[in-house]
Amino acid sequence: MNFTTQIILLLGGLALFLHGMNVMTDGLKAAAGSKMKSFLQGMTRNRWTSLVAGTGITAVIQSSSVTTVLAVGFVSAGLISFQSTLGIILGANVGTTITAQIIAFKITKASWIMIAGGFLAGFLFKNKVVKNVGTIILGLGLVFLGMSVMSDATAPLKSYEPFLDLMEGLDNYLYGILIGALFTALVQSSSATTGIVIIMASQGLIAIEPAIAIIMGANIGTCVTAILSALGKPKAAVRVAVSHVLFKVIGVVLWYAFIPQLAHLVDAISPGSEARQVANAHTIFNLANTFLFIWLVTPISKLVVWLVPEKKKKEERLFPELHQFYLEDVNLALDLSQTSIAKLGESVLEILKAGVPMALTGKEHELVELRYKDTFIDRGHAEILTFLQIIQSQSISKNQSHILERQIEAVNVMESAADVVTTSLVEAAQHRIEKSFEVSSDTVQRIAVVHKLALEAFFMAVQFYTEDDISADDTLAKEQFKKELQDVRLYLVERLSVSDENRIDIYRFESEVLEGIRRIHALARRLKRKAG
């Protein structure tokens, strides 16, 4: 037996298998598009719908890591609770069993046809649907080709006595669990471990019971991937990783004593087909654990939150959801940046609401507080722009580029609106305080009417970043604002005839406040256009 050749074949086959999984996952993600995000968010009403969502998406895209990234992103953005992600994670565990079932079908001879057909579909056709389907078929063909190569590499082991002796040693299930965990941690793919075990079982190189032990170990091995991916990530990602560890380790501990019974069960279900027995054992193991843990979602979520508490000291970042972890999925990153823009808009609204009354009647210390609030707007503006800049540096689609440009413009508009208050209006107010004049109550009331209309326009513009319906017609509101603005302007001109030594200064101040309100309204309309 030529060990060098067999090792090269085994490693090459494994590389083909893993690459095929990646290609297939990319094709499935592209085919699913952005719909999976709305489906996932809409299906988190309770533990059962979350379970269905996690199972459905992972079954479609065949990547529990993608499902997890989406779930973590929604938690960080405050769109769903951490407890909801536990149902999604459990569902993802069920969804991944589809891979093992597909692998168990003995259609490796069709691998070259699938590779050729998938490549030609992507190469010859321009239709996106056809291209995505071609990518999926190409990836699946590479998976089966990799399995075929690995099967050829392991075939000589049937008559290699040292290897057969080693396999007999796997009657101690702890060894099997350890091997499965270590190999999965090394290759970062439980599907690869499952595929190799299916090949070995179908060739008679390993008995069903130790095969089940290795698969259970592979479930623990995936925890290493989750833990490594959570290092330096948001708290939500760390909690998801800890949840993975708890679910997997506890599940293996519970099943350890029942491996012989599980082997007998799958033998009864699929007699004579070792490949199907391994795949079925993998499915039963994950299904049983899922339906056990789904009843324990609440206590487990409390335990995880206790194990991974929030920092007592408030995080320095205003928008912790804008983390580089989410840049792996551009669509998700853009969704999170839009959520952050909506939060920034709410903070800007607070300044706009307080700014005009403070300018008209506020004290010096109130103006200082208002300027201090603007530093938070500046920080938030910088955080969002930095995040968007990183997205822009990646390879993104034309539609994603269009969304990105609109978001950059929107966050700039919001900062400009805050600056109207914290620069122009605050400076005007300081002039009023220095000159020690007062604005009449009638003027304050008239300006308040125009200010309210501008605030409503800005509020509606910000709402467009949190709601899907942006079709509202505000033509009447626009005309009403123009009319009220013109009425106040004429009123201020008429007030010039009032006998008052500060009348000119007062008129200039009031006109400046009115101009600030007009600019806020104009920025609100510009912001609304960018939301569309």
**Sequence-distant (≥ 6) Cβ neighbours of residue 530 within 8 angstroms:** 406, 407, 409, 410, 413
Q: Check pLDDT > 80 for residue 218.
A: yes
By C-alpha distance, which of 103, 96, 27, 100 is closest to 55?
96
Q: Is the alpha carbon torsion for 107, 108, 113, 116 positive or negative? A: positive
Q: Check pLDDT > 90 for residue 217.
A: no
434: tokens are 């220095």
322: tokens are 């804008």
Range with the poorest average pLDDT among 44-48, 113-117, 194-198, 523-527: 44-48
| CA dist., res. 380 & res. 386, Å (int) | 10
pLDDT band at 62 (very low <50, low <70, confident <90, very high): low
| Candidate ranges 59-68, 166-175, 445-454; pick with highest mean pLDDT | 445-454
- Per-residue pLDDT, 261: 92
3-state secondary structure of 84: helix
Cα 90 to its chain centre, rounded Å, is: 17
Give, in order, the Cα–Cα distances in Å from 213 to each of 140, 187, 216, 263, 282.
26, 18, 5, 10, 10
For residue 15, the one-letter residue type is A
| Candidate ranges 433-442, 444-453, 457-466; pick with highest mean pLDDT | 444-453
| CA dist., res. 509 & res. 308, Å (int) | 54
In this structure, the chain runs to a length of 532
216: tokens are 């259970």
pTM assigned to the model:
0.58
Q: Are 216 and 285 in contact (CB under 8 A)?
A: yes
Angle of CA points 316, 523, 425, to nearest 5°: 75
Instruction: Indicate the Cα dihedral angle 63, 69, 71, 72, nearest 10°.
Output: 150
Fold of 324-531: Methane Monooxygenase Hydroxylase; Chain G, domain 1 (1.20.58)
| CA dist., res. 179 & res. 176, Å (int) | 5
Q: Where are the domains of the chain?
A: 3-307, 324-531
| CA dist., res. 145 & res. 502, Å (int) | 88
Range with the poorest average pLDDT among 154-168, 257-271, 437-451: 154-168
**Sequence-distant (≥ 6) Cβ neighbours of residue 83 within 8 angstroms:** 47, 297, 298, 301
- Per-residue pLDDT, 466: 64
**Residues 422-433: what's their mean pLDDT?**
82
DSSP string covering 304-340, please?
Answer: HHHHSPPPSSPPS-S-TT--GGGGGSHHHHHHHHHHH
Q: Check pLDDT > 60 for residue 314.
A: no
| CA dist., res. 96 & res. 53, Å (int) | 13
pLDDT band at 222 (very low <50, low <70, confident <90, very high): confident
Range with the poorest average pLDDT among 85-94, 164-173, 303-312, 412-421: 164-173
Q: How many CA atoms lie within 13 A of 317 on its CB side?
A: 14
Q: Check pLDDT > 80 for residue 531.
A: no
Q: Are 323 and 233 in contact (CB under 8 A)?
A: yes
By C-alpha distance, which of 190, 527, 477, 153 is closest to 345?
527
What is the number of other CB atoms lying within 10 angstroms of the CB of residue 116?
13
| CA dist., res. 178 & res. 219, Å (int) | 11
Q: Are 100 and 191 in contact (CB under 8 A)?
A: yes
**Residues 189-212: what's their mean pLDDT?**
82
